[in-house]
Amino acid sequence: MEKTPVIIDCDPGHDDAMAILWTLASPELELKAVTTVAGNTSLEKVTDNAVKVLTKAKVYDIPVAKGAPEPLVRNLIVENGGTIFHGESGLGGPELPENGFDLQPMHAVDLMTRILEESDRPVTIIAIGPLTNLALLFRLRPDLKEKIAVISMMGGGAARGNWTPAAEYNIYADVEAAYVVFHSGVKIIMSGLDVTQKAYITKAENEILRAKNREIAVFVAELIDFFGVGHYEIEKFPGCTLHDPTAVAVLTHPEWFHMVECNVEIEMDGQFTKGMTVVDDKNYQENILGENVKKNAKVVFDVDREKYVEDFIEAMGRL
């Protein structure tokens, strides 16, 4: 089986860490690089966390490069909300190892450029943080868009936000970057809150994971212990939401998901709706307004949660 080459662009983050690990455990995927962007916490912290996660998995040969320390235009909004869910380090909970390897001596966009130029096959980008690095790539090297098979991203939502009532954090954190990416012409699979808030793992299921009694399985169970507190106590969810891993699973098991191809626009300036992903899944622009608009994303709305969680647990047990 020919593996799909992927780059993970991320801001670890508990769910980012789980997405990295699920990618490593997926025989369909070949992780070529990890790039980081300021998001859940500062660039220095998220980059350190990415290296620590790979070190924990005893993977020392995946290049890691740090990217944008702030959004394209606006101020960085790392603050209390990220701390509530992710802790001061961005990866609170389990004990983390010392870094087992060095960063690449280049910017994340340069590493992306190198991987794309050298690849003899289209590369998939798993984008699970703010979209700043990708926007920079498209501005600097628009010719490389054709080397990207698809962007599988976690962000946005048709029905709600989680940072404001209207906006999901990864989009809100760099609205201008999101606009650039959604208007890039590159294929997008958008796993937003509509699906990720259904992709949760319960406390009982987390104990099944812990009972695997393997180093990575226990590590991930401890990540979920910490990350789940905010989901239970603040958001009142029935489990810990596995946001970012959804962008991995939709690539390896699309049959678990319900997706709709539609037009998505980014609200740039609304007083109450800045950062909203305006998802036209009912084709109102075409059917009611008579406008010919491009369907620029496959938006994921639903998931077979039981299959998702079962495979996640088994994958973490394989590492």
Domain spans of the chain, in order of start: 4-318
CA-to-CA distance for 32 and 113, rounded, in angstroms? Answer: 12
Predicted model pTM: 0.95
Task: Write out pLDDT tens, residues 111-166.
Answer: 999 999 999 999 999 999 999 999 999 999 999 999 999 999 999 999 989 888 99
Q: What pLDDT, on the 0 to 100 scale, is given for residue 289?
A: 60
Q: Cα-flanking dihedrals φ and ψ of residue 167, to 5°? A: -120, 135
Q: Is 107 a catalytic residue?
A: no
Beta pairing class for 240-241 and 200-201: antiparallel
CA-to-CA distance for 200 and 205, rounded, in angstroms? Answer: 10
* Marked catalytic residue, from 14, 86, 231, 243: 243
Proportion of the chain above pLDDT 90, given as a percent:
81
Better pLDDT: 253 or 95: 253
Tokens of 39: 């998001």
| 34-56 average pLDDT score | 96
| 296-313 average pLDDT score | 98
| 266-280 average pLDDT score | 94
CATH class of segment(s) 4-318: alpha beta
| 71-79 average pLDDT score | 85
Q: Check whether 82 has a pLDDT greater than 70.
A: no
